[in-house]
Amino acid sequence: MLLTPEQENEINALRKAAKPSLRDVSPGLEDMLYKPIPVLDHGFVRVIDYMGTDAAIVQAARVSYGAGTKKVNEDAGLINYLLRHRHTTPFEMCEIKFHIKLPIFIARQWIRHRTANVNEYSGRYSIMDKEFYVPAPDQLAAQSKSNRQGRGDVLEGAQAARVLQILKENSVKSYAEYEEMMNCNEEGKIFDEGKDGLARELARMNLPVNFYTQWYWKIDLHNLLHFLSLRADSHAQYEIRVYAEAMLDVLKAWVPITYKAFMDYRMGGTSLSAKGLAIVKRMIAGENVTQEDSGMSKGEWRELMQSLDLEEVRKIEVA
C-alpha cells in the first residue's frame, strides 16, 4: 500500500482545490504535485510544496525584477556559469518539500544530510505500519571483498532463498510481537480488555530497521543538488540511490535548465586533484604515465583511471 485512503482523499481534495497563483510556477512540477512516485516495494517520493523555479535562480543572481528579463538561452548560460563555478547562493533561493516513505535503515543513512528540515512519523504517538522492505532477489548480494561498505556477487539458489525466508519470517514475527506487547493491533483494537499493553514508545524497540517510516523533508535547491550528487551516484547504496533517481525526475520537471547543467557539470563531470591534472597534462603531451611513476597511491590511480574512462585501456596495456 503506497498511500492510506486518508492520504488519497487528501491528495484528491488538494488537487481539486487548486487556485491560480501570482507567483512563478513550474508547469512540469505542477503536474507532479502531491502524486506519489513508487520506490522499492512499499516506498514512495512525492512533492508536497515548492518555491521558485529556474527564473528565481536567475533573478537572485541578477537581483532583477521578476522573471523574463532575459532570453531563455541567456538564462541557461548564467545558470551553467553559476553551477560550473560553484556560485551556490542563487540556488538556495529555491526550496522543495517532499513526503517520503522509506525503510528505517535508509532513513538513518539519509539523515546524515543535515541541511534539511525533517519531521518524521512518530512511533511514540502512532502505531507503526505493518510494512517492511524485502530486497528483490537481484539485490541480495554478498559483502564486497574490496569495499567495506559495498556489495559483491549476487547470492543464488538455496542461500538466497534462505536469506529471503529469514527476512520475511523475522519481520512478520517481530510485528506480531509488537502488537502483542501493546495488546492491540495496527487498527488500535484491544486484544484483551482487562489487560494494559506496553507503551508504544517501548514496544517499537522490537521492530527491525527494514520496517518503513515516513517523513516530510524540506530542503533548498543547492543542498538538494549536493544530496543528489552523492546519493544518485553509481557507488551509492542501491536502496537510497533509487530514491535519489526518483528525485532526479522531480528536479528535471521543476527546474529543467538547472537539471541539465547539473547533469553536465556534476553528475557527468569529474573533479581532478593537482596531481591528477598534472598526470592528464603529461598524457596529453604523449607521455606513457604509469601508477608507479605517477606519485599516486593505487587507490588514487584507480579512481583517476575510472574518472577518465581509461581503466580498461590500462588493463589492456598491462596485459
Phi, psi of 40 (to 5 degrees): 55, -150
- Residue 167 identity: L
Candidates 136, 118, 120; CA nearest to 128 is: 120
pLDDT per position in the chain (319 positions), as tens? 677 888 888 888 888 887 788 888 999 999 999 999 999 999 999 999 999 999 999 999 988 655 555 567 789 999 999 999 999 999 999 999 999 999 999 999 999 999 999 999 999 999 999 999 999 999 998 887 777 777 888 888 999 999 999 999 999 999 999 999 999 988 888 988 889 999 999 999 999 999 999 999 999 999 999 999 999 998 899 999 999 999 999 999 999 999 999 999 999 888 889 999 999 999 999 999 999 989 999 889 988 998 888 864 444 444 4
Q: Is the pTM of this model over 0.85?
A: yes
Shortest CA distance to 59 belongs to which of 41, 37, 43, 74?
Answer: 74
Q: How many residues does the chain have?
A: 319
C-beta separation of 72 from 260 below 8 A:
no
Each residue's pLDDT tens digit, 200-216: 999 999 999 999 999 99
Residues annotated as part of the active site: 231
299 phi and psi, to 5 degrees?
-65, -45
Residue 147 burial (C-beta neighbours within 10 Å; 0-12, 13-18, 19+): exposed
**Per-residue DSSP letter, 184:** B
| Contact by Cβ (8 Å): 263, 80 | no
